[in-house]
Structures are given as C-alpha cells and as structure tokens.
Amino acid sequence: MTADAPNRSVKQPATIVAAGFSRVARLLKHSDFDRVYKQGRRHFSSHLTVFFLRRQDADAASDVSTKDPTPHASSESANVTRVGFTVGRALGGAVDRNRIKRRLREAVRQRRTLLAGTGPADVVINPKKSVLTLDFSLVLQEVGQAFEAIAKKLARK
C-alpha cells in the first residue's frame, strides 16, 4: 500500500453510514411517478424541475407491499420522504444519464435533511442536461434550494 492510497479497512462513522440513500427513501414504482406527475405540484429552477406530492396516510400504508422482505419497512416508509429521478434519453447516452443520476443521488443524500419535518411525501427530480457539466457545489446548492422551497410549500398545507 502506498502512502497516497486511502486506508480502506477503517470503519466509517455511523453518521456517514446513516446518511445513505436506502431503498425505503427511494421512489421506485412507475405508478408512484405517474401519481406525482399528475397530482403533484412543481418547483422550477435553472437546472432542475422538481415535482412533489404529499402522501396521504392511506397511500403511505399501501406503499408497504407483502413482497418487501424487510420487516421494518412498514414503520419506516410510512413517514419518510421518497425521492426519485427521471433522466430521459434526450439528456444523452447511458453513460451521461447514469452520471447525472449519480450526481443527483449524492446531492440528495447530502441535502435530504431539509425535508425531514415535512411528513410523508414523494419527490421526483427531473434534471436538465446542464447538470452533467455543472460544478457539483452548484448542484448541491440547487437541490438544497429546491428542497427548502418544497419544505415551505408542504408546511403550508
């Protein structure tokens, strides 16, 4: 091992591990995406369009399927804000689209706490092609501003 190489055998602190983007916190079903698009509200920014919709208690309870092998999913998913991404083919090839999704996932991981007090909601982030070349600090800022605006709008209801 060289002096420049990181020590990969060191355990990560619990705060970093807990800051992950678990399956419970992701929007995965096509029907959920459709519901957010059709019934939800929008927040526009220069590099993103964010759709959001507060989940009703019945929706949150129905999200827990019998196919889910995790026994604690019902208690966790009922009160969590789920985030999904739509990156269409118009934004580039598979490599570019996957890079955009990786950048957005990391930005959401770091800014997700801004949505903590909003209750159960679904959020869909629809990026523009500029997210691919944008400096990551600006992506973080844009996602953070969008989440703050969504939290304010959801708190008003």
Place of tokens 């909003």: 118
Place of tokens 């079903």: 29
Strand-pair category, 121-127 with 41-44: unpaired
Domain for residue 123, yes or no? yes
Q: Which domain holds residue 60?
A: 22-156
Q: Residues 119-131: pLDDT tens digits?
A: 899 999 999 999 9
Query: Rounded to two decimals, what is the model's pTM?
Result: 0.76
Whole-number pLDDT of residue 61: 52
Q: How many structural domains compose the chain?
A: 1
Domain for residue 74, yes or no? yes
Domain for residue 125, yes or no? yes
Quick one: residue 99, left, alpha or beta (phi over 0 = left, psi -120 to 50 = alpha)?
Answer: alpha
Domain for residue 9, yes or no? no
Domain for residue 99, yes or no? yes
Q: Residues 27-75: pLDDT tens digits?
A: 999 999 999 999 999 999 999 999 999 988 645 555 554 454 444 445 5
Domain for residue 119, yes or no? yes
Asked if 33 contacts 84 with a C-beta cutoff of 8 angstroms, the reply is yes
Domain for residue 84, yes or no? yes
How many other CB atoms sit within 10 Å of the CB of residue 77? Answer: 22
User: For residue 124, what is the domain's CATH number?
Assistant: 3.30.230.10
